[in-house]
Amino acid sequence: MKDSNQFIFQCKRVTENDMEKLILVDEYDQEIGSELKEDCHLGDGILHRAFSVFIFNEKKEVLIQQRSKEKMLWGQFWSNACCSHPYLGESVEDAAHRRTKEELSLETKLNFLFKFQYQEKFRNIGSENELCHVFIGVCNEIPNVDPNEIDDWKYLPIDDLTQSIENNPDEFTPWLRIEWSKITGEYFGQVQRILETN
């Protein structure tokens, strides 16, 4: 019995350790290994797989969140509804659904838009170095946010967010600025079709 309990504990420990690891990828989004989350964000960062979720309501307003001040990178900056990383062996879409529910208590259909690679340094603390998959969804439920992840949230009309980013870019995360430029630019027709059919 003792040996059996030890085996169960070791399996659990490995599983929890894997949850702290991110999927390393090359520029073509091919998996090349894994590394601890913190190590992936130190220095210039190590390229890893990530995702961003944008949530709109029936008024075509977009949900943004203020990141917790406890975040290692870009704490208290405004960003999109949810952004995170898949677990080892987890699909990006499944991870996007999981984190949207965990952080916001929201569940909705998510539509893949595009993926892109970016690298941004935050002061002398660390960097984001990600190949990021971007999804959008439509939901009219009121978020019930995880206070460990989110300090504040609000819905903004599309034009208001665009104007806010133009007027005060330093209040927003770099990935939001990049993604929002694409969403309101080359992907705007696709976004409008998704919003109109939900």
In this predicted model, what pLDDT tens digit does every residue of 51-79 receive, in sequence order?
999 999 999 999 999 999 999 999 999 99
d(CA 39, CA 85): 14
d(CA 133, CA 29): 10
| pLDDT of 197 | 87
Q: pLDDT digits over 86-131, tens only?
A: 999 999 999 999 999 999 999 999 999 999 999 999 998 999 999 9
Residue 179 annotated as catalytic: no
DSSP output for 132-150: EEEEEEE--SPP---TTTE
| pLDDT of 198 | 74
- DSSP state, 174? H
pTM of the model: 0.89
Contacts of 51 (CB under 8 A, 6+ apart): 83, 84, 85, 86, 92, 95, 96, 99, 132, 133, 134, 135
d(CA 53, CA 37): 20
Question: Of the listed 103, 128, 130, 179, which one is catalytic?
Answer: 130
Question: Of the listed 83, 128, 139, 179, which one is catalytic?
Answer: 83
**Mean pLDDT over each residue of the chain, to the nearest integer:** 91
Domain limits of the chain?
22-196
d(CA 180, CA 83): 14
Query: What's the alpha-carbon Rg for the chain, to the nearest Å?
Result: 18
Residue 71 token pair:
């975040």
Residue 58 annotated as catalytic: no
What is the CATH architecture of 22-196?
Answer: Alpha-Beta Complex (3.90)
